[in-house]
Structure 1
């Protein structure tokens, strides 16, 4: 049950952080305005709270593992939101990163 909670928190954190960064990007680079930037800042702040609810008590471990989730999630976000077409090396890199997440977070200690 703890693994499911952890995975769900990683997914929610990825949506908030990647989505927040994308909103800021859209507000600044695509000149969509302050409302987009503000929404992005709020989402980025919410990401910090979600990450704090991970069952593992070690900040460094959680954030290191989240890096792998961020890699895979960013590629997916780009595909859905911006029509990005990852190549096989992007996919391989994302799989390697997610394997790293599994090792860091869910290996027996």
Structure 2
């Protein structure tokens, strides 16, 4: 369930930020800002659903998922295929996120 929450949060954050990017950098209608703000609210809410004892740990682990999802967005929405360095860097980030989230604590 945690992976799905993180994926949903990443998509909500990226979509929300992309809405602002589109308005400010690409001249999209300012109406996109409302959708972007709602998407960013959904992102913040979704992160509260992760079952960890500290918010900072939830955010740190989310960072790796965000990197991977951003590269998926790059390819799916912006039409730019990630290169091998993107993929390698993303894999390292996801591995780091897994260590943060699932590492043994005692």
Q: Same fold (TM over 0.5)?
A: yes
Counterpart check, 1:19 vs 2:15: yes
> Scaled by the length of structure 1, what TM-score is found?
0.91
Q: What aligned pairs does 1:1-109 form with structure 2 within 5 A after superposition?
A: 5-109=1-105
TM superposition outliers: structure 1 runs of 4+ over 2 Å: none
For residues 39 and 108 of structure 1, what CA distance do their matches in structure 2 show?
Answer: 39
Per mean C-alpha deviation after superposition, the further-off stretch among 78-87 and 88-97 is 78-87
Q: CA-to-partner distance for each residue in 1:17-40, whole Å, 9 max, x for gaps?
A: 011111111122111111111111
Q: CA deviation at 1:85?
A: 2.0
The number of residues matched between the two structures is 105
Unaligned runs of 5+ in 1: none
SS of residue paired to 2:70: helix
Show structure 2 runs of 5+ residues with no match.
none
The RMSD of aligned alpha carbons is 0.9
- Distance of 1:14 and 1:66 partners within structure 2: 8
TM-score, length basis structure 2: 0.94
